[in-house]
Amino acid sequence: MHEKEFDIKDILALMKRHIYLFISVIIVVMTLTVAYIYRSINIYKSTASIEIEPKGANILDAGMEVVSTGSQGYYWSNKEYYATQYEIIQSRAVAEKALESISGENILEYLGVDISKVDPEKVKDIDPIKIIQSKITVTPKKSSNIVEISVDDPDAEKAAFLANSVANAYIDFNLEKKYFATKDAAAWLLDQSLNLKKGLEDSEKMLFEFKQNNNVLATTFEAKQILLSTKIEKFTDTLTDQEIKRNALSARIEEYSKIDLDAPDESFMKEVSKDNQLINGLKLKYLETLSSLDETGKFYGEKHPKVLGLSAEKDNLKESLKNEVSNVVKSFDLELKTLEKEMEKNRKMLSDVQTEAILLNRLDIDYSKLKREVETNKKLFDIVLQRTKEADLSSLLKNNNVRIIDKAIVTNIPVSPMKKMIIMIGFFLSVLFGFVSILLYEFFDTRFRNFQEFEVVTKKPLLGIIPRFVTSETAEFKEIAFEHGKQSFAIEAFRSVRTNIRLSTPDIKLGTLLITSSITQEGKTTVSSNIGVSYSLAGKKVLLVDADMRKPRVHKLFGIKNETGLSTLVVGDNTIDQVIRKNVYEGLDVITCGPIPPNPAEILESERFHSIVKEFSSRYDLVIFDSPPLSPVSDGATIASVVDGVIVVVNINKTPRDVFKLAISKILKPGINFLGTIINDFDQKHDRKFKSYYNYSYYQSPYQAYYKKENNDDA
């Protein structure tokens, strides 16, 4: 929730900061909008409604009893057809027909062309048909066959006249298209009917010649086919029956051949004697004799005359039975041979009939082909002949599938310009362009927008904000805030910086401190000097070293000579005690730069410089180094690697974001203790985009009333 409120506040602050730009853009856009409305010509629209059926009523069809006038289908099933009709309505052909309805010679003037403003040689290049096409708008009504034809024109009466002219021109064009299409179709059908008639006559002649050559009549050809089919079927059935009978005779012969009268099987004999009464009677007598012989033999013995008589009777019956069985087998054999001869004759007759049927089928193929050709040609000829007559009638019939539903009427209410909507759109665009202008301004503005951006880039909190201050006319050092001798916002700011530096490194003893900047003229020398004074006033033993061997300023700020200093100390021309200026301001010791060397980077990277830094740290509570900016040279980054902490001074009105990021990237490395950033030369009255943050940090402090009282006393 807090983030959202903060974002809204940022947007409001952004709007407030660029309110004049925002209002200026709105005024310019709205002025242009009003000017556009004032200069625009009123345009009137007239609309004619027509109904387009997918096809006209087919009144020539013999199957139709009622002429249909309703819809012939759904829109989506005829989508391509309707899309084509829309293009035809807006086509050059329809526009040319509509142009014919305009009376008079000055057609261009009627269409709104000011000929007086056109070069006479270019008047002939103006196409009135294209002008009409540009005025036509076709709008289909959804889920219906209704189409609206609209025409826009500065004259309401002309708009209505042209809309009706276009609708009538489209109807006439549609009728003409159907008329010429029907005439062309009739001519083509006539040619086709002549060709089909000749083809029909030729096919009939060929069929007749075929019948004549093969001595086949149309009435007997099919009957002969039926007769042959019947014969084949009958012979096939007869052969099947004979085959069954032959199999039965063969089975009987096989059964009788297996009879053994010496050891007759009663069950088998019983089966064999079913069909022969004589064999059956002999079988019964034979069995009775066997039974009597068996009983008499047991009673009288084998030699008894009665037994011998029965035995002789048994032999006679057996012989008679054997002869009868043999006669039966012979009769079956004779019957079988006779049956086989009959079957052979039937097979030959069936083969002859089949051969005759095959020959007839071959003739039938050619016959059917010729007959189908005759029938096909006759059907085609009849169809084309009927269509030819219908086409001739259709060419005389003005049957149209398009008709006018509502004619266009004169409308005195302009459709363009839509003043209210244009003003609303203009206002919306003006507000949008105003926001875009602010965003573009902010995008191309390379300065920092708020204090939070410093913390995002450096990933460290701000150590302090130094307000712009001016010392009194009688002050000896114009860049030392403490020269006032009284409390001020600047003095309190430097004290806050001192406190924040101490709190930023609670676990580390800060003995050496580097103060640098991103670019030149950001006030790093002023800030480092005032921080040194702040620490010295707090009772610390402080040494300020001017390590800017390119453009030194410490000696100018304190008004001391720069004959010897850090450069002569490093090269060994002087000792530390010889270059230190004692108690330059309120207990602050200073070492100037000294003569500017030709190789500052090599001097600062030397082992001698490192040992001197350690010596400074052993003598003082705090050693402050004022170094060159980070962006142009690498001196500051070199010193940063040998000190306990680094502070970067920024002037929000001079330092671009990209330059600041590049400078910070040089010290955000392992081994360098970056403490944070100090904002310098902050003008609360002019830097409105930082006003809320500054008010919160300083103006809302409990010292507000006191500081104001002190300043009023000075005034």
CATH code at 629? 3.40.50.300
Of the segments 81-90, 310-319, 660-669, 676-685, which one has the largest average pLDDT value? 81-90
- pLDDT range class, residue 715, cuts 50, 70, 90: very low
The answer to whether residue 497 is domain-embedded is yes
What pLDDT sits at residue 184? 67
Burial class (CB in 10 A: 0-12, 13-18, 19+), 572: exposed
286 or 677, greater pLDDT: 677
CA 192 to CA 349: how far, in whole Å? 52
530 or 320, greater pLDDT: 530
- pLDDT range class, residue 148, cuts 50, 70, 90: very high
Bridge partners (DSSP) listed for residue 680: 651
Residue 205 φ then ψ, to 5°: -65, -45
Q: Which helix (H) or strand (E) holds 496?
A: helix 489-504
What pLDDT sits at residue 216? 62
Question: Is residue 30 within 8 Å of residue 424, measured between CB atoms?
Answer: no
The answer to whether residue 177 is domain-embedded is no
What pLDDT sits at residue 702? 41
100 or 454, greater pLDDT: 100
CA 258 to CA 314: how far, in whole Å? 21
What percentage of the chain exceeds 70 in pLDDT? 81
Q: Which helix (H) or strand (E) holds 491?
A: helix 489-504
What pLDDT sits at residue 692? 45
Q: List, for residues 372-391, the tens digit of each pLDDT value.
A: 888 888 888 788 777 776 66
What pLDDT sits at residue 268? 46
Q: For residue 182, is pLDDT > 80?
A: no
**Sign of the dihedral defined by the CA atoms of residues 686, 692, 694, 695, in that order:** positive
The answer to whether residue 285 is domain-embedded is no
Alpha helices in 64-217 (DSSP H): 79-89, 92-100, 107-110, 120-123, 128-135, 156-214
Q: For residue 139, is pLDDT > 60?
A: yes
Please state whether beta strands 146-153 and 136-140 pair in parallel, antiparallel, or not at all (unpaired): antiparallel
Look up residue 417 and give its amino acid. Answer: P
- The per-residue pLDDT of the chain, averaged, comes to 78
Average pLDDT over residues 312-323: 74
The answer to whether residue 619 is domain-embedded is yes
What pLDDT sits at residue 449? 65
Average pLDDT over residues 448-466: 77
27 or 264, greater pLDDT: 27
Counting the structural domains of the chain, the total is 1
Average pLDDT over residues 119-137: 85
The answer to whether residue 583 is domain-embedded is yes
Domain ranges, residue 663: 451-714
- pLDDT range class, residue 542, cuts 50, 70, 90: very high
Q: For residue 406, is pLDDT > 80?
A: yes
Burial class (CB in 10 A: 0-12, 13-18, 19+), 329: middle
Alpha helices in 397-485 (DSSP H): 419-444, 451-458
Average pLDDT over residues 322-343: 80
- pLDDT range class, residue 514, cuts 50, 70, 90: very high
Among 124-138, 223-237, 469-483, 684-698, where is mean pLDDT lowest? Answer: 684-698
Average pLDDT over residues 106-132: 81
- pLDDT range class, residue 259, cuts 50, 70, 90: low
Among 76-80, 213-217, 430-434, where is mean pLDDT lowest? Answer: 213-217
The answer to whether residue 243 is domain-embedded is no
Q: For residue 545, is pLDDT > 90?
A: yes
What pLDDT sits at residue 70? 40
- pLDDT range class, residue 4, cuts 50, 70, 90: very low
Residue with tokens 């010496």: 262
**Sign of the dihedral defined by the CA atoms of residues 169, 171, 175, 181, in that order:** positive
Residue 402 φ then ψ, to 5°: -125, 135
Q: List, for residues 51-93, the tens digit of each pLDDT value.
A: 988 765 554 554 433 333 344 445 556 788 888 899 999 999 9
Among 108-117, 216-225, 338-347, 659-668, where is mean pLDDT lowest? Answer: 216-225
What pLDDT sits at residue 589? 93
Q: 3-state class of 73 per DSSP? A: coil
CA 469 to CA 684: how far, in whole Å? 11
**Sign of the dihedral defined by the CA atoms of residues 263, 265, 266, 271, in that order:** negative
Average pLDDT over residues 593-602: 88
Please state whether beta strands 588-591 and 542-546 pair in parallel, antiparallel, or not at all (unpaired): parallel
Q: List, for residues 635-647, the tens digit of each pLDDT value.
A: 888 888 899 999 9
* 502: its two tokens: 């101490």
The CA-CA-CA angle for residues 504, 508, 514, to 5°, reads: 70
What percentage of the chain exceeds 90 in pLDDT? 14
The answer to whether residue 268 is domain-embedded is no
Q: For residue 98, is pLDDT > 70?
A: yes
The CA-CA-CA angle for residues 421, 427, 432, to 5°, reads: 125
CA 649 to CA 682: how far, in whole Å? 12
The answer to whether residue 626 is domain-embedded is yes
CA 599 to CA 609: how far, in whole Å? 13
Q: Which residues of 123-154 are buried (b: 16+ CB within 10 A; e: fewer)?
A: eeeeebbebbbebbebebeeeebebbbbbbbe
What pLDDT sits at residue 513? 92
Average pLDDT over residues 14-38: 87
12 or 531, greater pLDDT: 531
556 CB-near residues (< 8 Å, 6+ apart): none
- pLDDT range class, residue 399, cuts 50, 70, 90: low
